[in-house]
Homo-oligomer: A and B are copies of this chain.
Amino acid sequence: MRPSGREPDAMRTIEMIPGFSAHAEGSCLVKFGRTHVLVTASVEERLPPWLRGKGSGWVTAEYGMLPRATHTRGNREAAKGKQSGRTQEIQRLIGRSLRAVTDLKLLGERQITLDCDVIQADGGTRTAAISGAWVALRLAIDGIMAKNGLGQDPLAMQVAAVSCGIHNEVPVLDLDYDEDSDAGTDANFVLTSTGGIVEVQATAEGAPFDEESLLRMLRLARIGCGQIFAAQLAATGR
């Protein structure tokens, strides 16, 4: 029924390779099926000027896609001289999602930048990025804590994200590219390991959807995020 043959509530295979990058303070190559995103966490012990002197830190994200991560080659944003609206929307979402589970006061006056670069795309790059970013951030914060003994862990819970959609009138979990380009409704959910909702973004691509569909997609997202939370723990050795 689904192009991939998956059940409506079946995720793609999740793989999380921690420490993929030799230089970054934390890193993770995250794979949701054929969607591969490399996330690095870079710790800087000084804040940009507008954030200094407030006794708290900052977590931010940048997002990019290699030009040929996709079926047909896209233009390189560095060559075009600007980031698209889509790129900016996604990197703002990733940053917000990770800040939602980080206590910036406890982090202290330092900045962590999460670079999420899509090596290969097959739908769901932003949700894979958020999910992998938690691993990279966790590892980076572990490093800070090991080095200088932050009194308390600023990262008290997990955050993960997954996409859902309505495909052929059936709510389904974790859309790949084929489904995504064909789905009537497309939704991204960002959830915490404590059951809270951090962000919901649901968009009707064709006909408007109803409250029932929204709730069914949310339930699928809980199933998917449960599996991601488990993979995150495994990847960070917890």
Enumerate chain A interface residues (CB-CB to B < 8 A): 21-24, 27, 34, 38, 40, 42, 44, 62, 64, 66-73, 76-89, 91-92, 96, 100, 113, 115, 117, 119-120, 122, 187, 191-192, 194-204, 207-211, 214-215, 218
Which residues on the B side are within 8 Å of A214 (C-beta)? 197, 200, 218
**CB nearest to A117 among chain B residues:** B66
How close is A22's CB to chain B, nearest CB, in angstroms?
Answer: 6
Known: A68-B21, A73-B42. A83 touches B78 (CB 8 A): yes
Which residues on the B side are within 8 Å of A80 (C-beta)? 78
Structural contact, B89 and A85, CB atoms closer than 8 A: yes
**CB nearest to A203 among chain B residues:** B199
Structural contact, A64 and B88, CB atoms closer than 8 A: no
Determine chain A's interface SS by DSSP, over half rule.
Answer: mixed
Known: A66-B115, A203-B199, A208-B100. A81 touches B79 (CB 8 A): no
Which residues on the B side are within 8 Å of A218 (C-beta)? 211, 214
**CB nearest to A206 among chain B residues:** B100
How close is A144's CB to chain B, nearest CB, in angstroms?
Answer: 16
Q: Which of B23, B76, B202 contacts A200 (CB 8 A)?
A: B202
Known: A83-B78, A198-B208, A214-B200. A38 touches B88 (CB 8 A): no
Known: A209-B196, A211-B197. A89 touches B87 (CB 8 A): no
How close is A140's CB to chain B, nearest CB, in angstroms?
Answer: 11
**CB nearest to A88 among chain B residues:** B85
Known: A198-B208, A200-B202. A78 touches B87 (CB 8 A): yes
How close is A59's CB to chain B, nearest CB, in angstroms?
Answer: 14
Please report the C-alpha to C-alpha distance between residue A80 and residue B77 in the assembled complex, in whole angstroms: 10
How close is A73's CB to chain B, nearest CB, in angstroms?
Answer: 4
Which residues on the B side are within 8 Å of A207 (C-beta)? 196
Known: A196-B207, A215-B211. A22 touches B92 (CB 8 A): no
Which residues on the B side are within 8 Å of A198 (C-beta)? 203-204, 208
How close is A38's CB to chain B, nearest CB, in angstroms?
Answer: 7
